[in-house]
């Protein structure tokens, strides 16, 4: 088998270590391995974006190259199997401006929607939302597009030259990995995307798919429940434990989002004599570029929330508690809209991302939960609450109420809904506990570090590394 890799996240652990794991796995099987390597040629890669407020490109490139060279040596790949990026792009017809994110998403090169990955990077990394001004950020967007096109054209050339049977690509979400998926689709090459798995000891592979493929995820939940060769009783125990761990703030596949919340704390104005409704709001940036997640009858979350508040404004029996997701720390347009909502309506209490109110205690005391797709929706089902899903989610078929319109949602809120069957929720908890493959060659120490074949892939402490550490320290000070 001939296998291609496109590692552009060398500064990210365990992303690069997962690729090394897969390279070594294929090498030990006798497969031919081909790797595309950036030598600092990309106009704007994710590593540069992470430190965009100071000029750290040369230093980041040094560390990136060091990790790549060290990793490739450990795997034992010959130099002739390493392909550099193309010297320049064949495509250079970029528009003078984009009028909207939608227009950017639909931007194509060679019939492939390159703009989708660019929009995802732009919205996620810069914590923007769908109303972001593309004109003010035009230079950033063009550099992201140039990066994407260069990777796309290189991927086409390398896949053709090597006659690759398969490619491995990180998650598929961003501008520097999405183009490699498009190249595989264009040429009919099998691809597998990878990500962290259910715990720090696992990685996740998705065949001919990616982590925002909603239908793949829903099928995978059912598949694992059926195929995992353990008893139903064991599956139930494992599934229940996932929900308990989430509630207890246990770090499993990533750091807990509720670690800073004060246990059992509730809003001071809570009146248990009212019909209290919990509304849990997610970040808009992550899914607005995923077509599957946009296929629903609702507008932006804050527009739905405002319609709910307006409808029940004169009914003193209702009060709504809007819990903003803890990751929404940046004051973008989504936060600004909720500030306006909080000032306009008296029947709502906004719980901001940095507030220590206990999300789990809140769901205990509300009558009904409205979710916009975060896992608190399926968690609420497990803890015995009816859940109205006003979006799409991988758990949408597991006992949620799914209104067909805002009017349907309002009708649901007007009556007392019965508690959902939590046995389906347990299936979800089981999936989130076991999905992925166990590492063979990488030994994680925590979420962000570990050893590959017993080696930590970091530069030794010489003057360049000292400068890197100082520059990052100053950069973080500037940001804070």
**Is residue 399 pLDDT above 90, yes or no?**
yes
Contact 358, 259 (CB under 8 A): no
For residue 167, count CB atoms less than 10 angstroms from its CB and return exposed for 0-12, middle for 13-18, buried for 19 or more.
buried
Q: Give the least confident one: 55-64, 252-261, 375-384, 394-403.
A: 55-64
Whether the bond between 392 and the residue before it is cis, its omega within 30 degrees of 0, is no
Q: Which residue has the higher pLDDT, 130 or 401?
A: 401
**Is residue 66 pLDDT above 70, yes or no?**
yes
Average pLDDT over residues 85-105: 91
pLDDT score of 57: 67
Sign of CA dihedral 83, 84, 89, 95: positive
1-48 residue pLDDT tens:
999 999 999 889 999 999 999 999 999 999 999 999 998 888 888 877
How many helices (H) and strands (E) would you count in the chain?
A: 17, 14
**Is residue 241 pLDDT above 50, yes or no?**
yes
pLDDT score of 54: 39
pTM of the model: 0.91
432-478 residue pLDDT tens:
999 999 999 999 999 989 999 999 998 765 445 555 556 655 655 55
Per-domain boundaries in the chain? 2-221+439-479, 244-431
For residue 41, count CB atoms less than 10 angstroms from its CB and return exposed for 0-12, middle for 13-18, buried for 19 or more.
middle
H or E stretch at 428: helix 423-434
pLDDT score of 334: 83
Average pLDDT over residues 226-243: 97
pLDDT score of 310: 98
pLDDT score of 259: 80
pLDDT score of 332: 73
Q: How far is CA 417 from CA 123, 217, 231, 385, in A?
A: 36, 28, 33, 9
* CATH code, residues 244-431: 3.40.50.2000
């Amino acid at each position: 088998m001939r296998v291609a890799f496109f590692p552009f996240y060398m500064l990210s652990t365990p992303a690069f270590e997962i690729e090394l794991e897969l390279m070594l796995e294929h090498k030990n099987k006798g497969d031919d391995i081909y790797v595309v390597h950036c030598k600092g040629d990309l106009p704007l890669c994710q590593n540069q974006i992470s430190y965009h407020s100071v000029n750290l490109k040369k230093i980041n490139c040094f560390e990136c190259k060091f990790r790549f060279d060290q990793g490739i040596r450990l795997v034992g790949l010959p130099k002739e199997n390493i392909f550099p990026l193309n010297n320049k792009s064949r495509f250079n017809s970029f528009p003078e401006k984009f009028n909207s994110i939608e227009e950017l998403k639909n931007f194509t090169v060679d019939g492939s929607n390159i703009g989708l990955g660019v929009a995802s990077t732009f919205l996620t990394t810069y914590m923007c939302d769908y109303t972001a001004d593309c004109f003010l950020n035009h230079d950033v967007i063009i550099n992201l597009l140039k990066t994407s096109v260069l990777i796309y054209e290189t991927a086409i050339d390398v896949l053709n030259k090597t006659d690759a049977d398969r490619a491995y690509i990180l998650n598929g979400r961003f501008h520097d990995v999405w183009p490699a998926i498009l190249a595989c689709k264009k040429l009919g090459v099998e691809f597998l995307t990878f990500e962290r798995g259910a715990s720090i000891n696992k990685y996740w592979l998705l065949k001919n798919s990616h982590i925002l493929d909603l239908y793949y995820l829903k099928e995978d939940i059912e598949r694992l429940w059926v195929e995992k060769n353990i008893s139903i009783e064991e599956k139930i125990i494992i599934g229940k434990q996932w929900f308990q761990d989430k509630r207890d703030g246990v770090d499993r596949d990533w750091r807990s989002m509720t670690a800073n919340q004060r246990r059992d704390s509730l809003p001071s104005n809570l009146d248990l004599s009212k019909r209290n409704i919990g509304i849990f709001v997610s970040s808009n940036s992550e899914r607005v570029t995923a077509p599957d997640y946009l296929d629903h009858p609702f507008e932006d979350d804050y527009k739905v929330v405002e319609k709910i508040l307006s409808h029940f404004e004169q009914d003193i029996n209702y009060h709504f508690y809007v819990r903003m997701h803890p990751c929404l720390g940046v004051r973008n347009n989504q936060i600004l809209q909720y500030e306006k909502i909080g000032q306009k309506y008296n029947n709502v209490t906004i719980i901001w991302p940095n507030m220590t109110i206990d999300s789990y205690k809140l769901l205990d005391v509300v009558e009904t939960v409205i979710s916009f797709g975060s896992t608190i929706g399926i968690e609420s089902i497990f803890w015995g609450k009816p859940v109205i899903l006003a979006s799409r989610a991988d758990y949408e078929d597991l006992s949620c109420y799914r209104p067909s319109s805002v009017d349907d949602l309002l009708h649901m809120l007007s009556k007392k809904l019965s508690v959902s069957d939590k046995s389906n929720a347990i299936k979800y908890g089981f999936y989130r506990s076991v999905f992925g493959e166990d590492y063979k060659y990488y030994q994680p120490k925590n979420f962000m570090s570990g050893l590959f074949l017993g080696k930590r892939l970091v530069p030794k402490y010489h003057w360049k590394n000292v400068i890197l550490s100082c520059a990052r320290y100053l950069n973080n000070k500037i940001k804070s």
